[in-house]
Amino acid sequence: MIGDVDECRTECEISDDTGTTVAVVYEDSSGWHIDLLRGLRTEEVAAFDICVETSKQKFSSYVNRRGSNPPKDATAGGLSLWLMQKDDGTTLGMD
């Protein structure tokens, strides 16, 4: 999970068994999106689908994941932390 300040959204990168990112999952005001960076091999599809569903479940606790109404004049670091804020008030595991 990362706070993408350029796109103003929280994203989850899904990697293959070599550590190469194969997709980016995010939600915006129009719904869920999965940006595939390469085609999936047949043997990867089932595990990929599980990763996407797991990502969506984890996203539910990130209150600013869609990037709606970002704080004005925030630095890149501040915006990234805002995107990573959870519903329990923590960001990156800290209050």
Domain extent, residue 6, equals: 2-83
pLDDT tens digits, 79-88:
999 999 999 9
64-95 burial by CB neighbour count: b if 16+ within 10 A, else e? bbbbeeeeeeeeeeebbbbbbbbeeeebeeee
Tell me how far apart the alpha carbons of residues 17 and 49 are, in angstroms, rounded to a whole number.
15
Query: Which residues, other chains included, contact 31 with Cβ-Cβ below 8 Å and sequence gap of 6+?
Result: none
Number of domains within the chain: 1
* Residue type present at position 62: Y
* Residue-level pLDDT at 56: 94
pLDDT at 60 over 80: yes
User: Domain for residue 88, yes or no?
Assistant: no
Residue 18 belongs to some domain of the structure: yes
Both tokens assigned to 95: 């209050």
Counting residues of the chain whose pLDDT is more than 90, the rounded percentage is 87
Structural domain includes residue 54: yes
